[in-house]
Amino acid sequence: MSNEFNMPLLGDKLEQLKVQTTHGPMTLPDDMEGSWFVLFSHPADFTPVCTTEFVGFQKRKDQFDELGVKLIGLSIDQVFSHIKWEEWIKENLGVQIEFPIIAGNDTIANKLGMIHPGKGTATVRAVFIIDPKGHVRTILYYPPEIGRNMDEIVRVVKALQISDKNGVAMPANWPENELIKDKVIIPPATSVKDAKKRLEEHDCYDWWFCHKSLK
């Protein structure tokens, strides 16, 4: 018997989810309309890797705030477990978790593709970056045994926002790309005239690979 597996795809509108959280009931993405947000799942409360991740997210909350990005955690643990775990983190690690944590269930986890049967019955480490219109812009999956890189999530949000605002593409390892440093890539020309113009107006390796500084 096959296991049903669903997940949103890039560009999809996030399916409406009515959830219970440590900050009260919420409806996603409706309650986040007009704001970027990062929805991320963890396998379980009171586990070492997840604890380091939550501390990592909280430590970077100011960076997310500056970008206008809200954080929302999720696991299939219930609210009372989340609350107790938050208390433990504050009492033992000196970090106050300020973002809501969803008390998930199999229905929510399956809608988001967060349960991978080959990795057990807990939610894997999924990350969904959602834009202000509720569309899924980035999806990242990590196995339970590997913690996420929080700085990469911050980097992706910054890159998405700059790309949207300026109509450009971002190179690998931006803003420390091996070829063009912190410059951005101009979309390829779509006509002979535009190709020639690009070569005259921008720094290019060729007409299809032009770049510029945003400064």
For residue 55, give its domain range. Answer: 17-148
- 130 and 25, same domain (yes or no): yes
- 92 and 49, same domain (yes or no): yes
- 143 and 176, same domain (yes or no): no
Residues marked as catalytic: 50
pLDDT at 32: 92
pLDDT at 115: 63
- 35 and 104, same domain (yes or no): yes
- 106 and 180, same domain (yes or no): no
- 97 and 178, same domain (yes or no): no
pLDDT at 93: 97
pLDDT at 205: 94
Instruction: Answer yes or no: is pLDDT of 163 > 60.
Output: yes
Q: Find the CATH number of the domain harbouring 50.
A: 3.40.30.10
- 46 and 137, same domain (yes or no): yes
Judged by DSSP in three states, 5 sits in coil
Instruction: Answer yes or no: is pLDDT of 117 > 70.
Output: no
Lowest mean pLDDT: which of 27-36, 87-96, 97-106, 108-117?
108-117
Residues 40, 31: Cα–Cα separation, whole Å: 16
Residues 7, 127: Cα–Cα separation, whole Å: 12
Q: How far from chain centre, in Å, is Cα 144?
A: 17
Q: How far from chain centre, in Å, is Cα 21?
A: 19
Residues 52, 125: Cα–Cα separation, whole Å: 13
| Average pLDDT, integer, range 101-109 | 80
Q: Which pair of tokens denotes residue 32?
A: 């986040």
* Mean predicted lDDT score pLDDT of the chain: 89
Residue 134 CB neighbours (<10 A): 19
Instruction: Answer yes or no: is pLDDT of 151 > 70.
Output: yes
Residue whose token pair is 């910054």: 158
Tens digits of residue pLDDT in 188-212: 888 999 888 888 889 999 999 999 9
The pLDDT > 70 percentage for the chain reads: 93
Tens digits of residue pLDDT in 33-84: 899 999 998 888 999 999 999 999 999 999 999 999 999 999 888 999 999 9
CA dihedral in degrees (83, 19, 101, 15; nearest 10)? 170
pLDDT at 80: 95
Q: Which pair of tokens denotes residue 11?
A: 């560009």
pLDDT at 129: 97
Tens digits of residue pLDDT in 167-189: 999 999 999 999 999 999 999 88
Identify the bridge partners of residue 185 per DSSP, sorted by sequence position: 169, 211
Total structural domains within the chain: 2
- Helix ranges (DSSP H) in the chain: 48-59, 61-66, 79-93, 106-111, 150-166, 192-201
| Average pLDDT, integer, range 80-91 | 96
Tens digits of residue pLDDT in 5-14: 577 889 999 8
pLDDT at 1: 33
pLDDT at 49: 94
- 98 and 192, same domain (yes or no): no
- 59 and 141, same domain (yes or no): yes
| Burial classification of residue 57, based on how many CB atoms lie within 10 Å of its CB (0-12 exposed, 13-18 middle, 19 or more buried) | buried
- 119 and 182, same domain (yes or no): no
Domain-embedded: residue 200: yes
Residues 171, 4: Cα–Cα separation, whole Å: 36
